[in-house]
Amino acid sequence: MTAIHILNGPNLNLLGTREPELYGSDTLADIEAACRIRANAHGQDLTFRQTNSEGQLVTWIQEARGTADALILNAAAYTHSSVAILDALKMFDGLKIELHLTNPHQREAFRHTSFVSPAANGVIAGFGAAGYTLALDAVAAKLG
């Protein structure tokens, strides 16, 4: 069974009420529920987590070594600032997918830089909540 860790960064706990015109009306719990249905359909073992803390994300990425086959990461604002997250990702040997609800390249210039992308096998961005289940589909396509 393919083990997948979906990690979510800062402010994603407020999805549903946070700038819904940008991020949509689904809560993170709604997204997790949709992911669990899709993961079951693919026969994937899913861990789904959120934190507002950069260090916690680094710790969870480290934990994924040896326990996860794939990592799906929406690092949120830390995408654009965190060398620590990039360094941690480099030590994870499994499939790495960078995920965003919005398309950062359509937004402010400071969102055009990603410290996650250099370590990611692929990027899914701009499809709103659907991007999460698309990322699970992508893992199934790559790893079965």
CA 15 – CA 26 distance, rounded (Å): 7
Shortest Cβ 1–ligand DQA spacing (Å)? 27
Q: Among 42, 78, 100, 132, which one carries the catalytic annotation? A: 100
CA 14 – CA 120 distance, rounded (Å): 25
Nearest to 3 by CA among 131, 99, 144, 98: 144
Shorter beta-carbon distance to ligand DQA: residue 2 or 50: 50
- Answer for which of 100, 119, 129, 140 binds ligand DQA (CB under 6 A) is 100
Catalytic residue status for 5: no
Residues that bind ligand DQA (CB under 6 A): 11, 74, 76-77, 79, 100-102, 104, 111
